[in-house]
Structure 1
């Protein structure tokens, strides 16, 4: 067994635990991300609103990928962005 396969085998239980926690507490994490984004946006006087919104969206997407697994244990690929890229 190669190093990478050995590492994956040892980390699989931790990944499953993180996935379970994300499923159980995803709404709390999402709420916390929104609160943190709002505070940071206010502290920066809305100067970086677009970047804060992008970062928050990516963090929420990562949470969704962690929380929602297919029945075969494979995490689905990330969704396509819903907002068009800035010009």
Structure 2
């Protein structure tokens, strides 16, 4: 994988604070939020290069859905009551 480019960006402190809050709301770093917004602006203007790779996925992998967990639950082996059937 090619090394990602590093740039120095000077921002008004109020703009940086607003970006940081927005990034936090969307569970992104400020840097990732800036890249997300730049990519969206490029795409909207029809200027996003075709060979631009997607944003890297970061953070924890998604949790498995309930029905994908160990064996699933079809009700055949009891429930919350430890397997004791009500009569």
Pairwise same-fold verdict (TM > 0.5): no
The higher-RCO structure (CA 8 Å, 6+ apart) is: 1
Higher-Rg structure is: 2
- State the TM-score, normalized to the length of structure 1: 0.29
- State the TM-score, normalized to the length of structure 2: 0.29
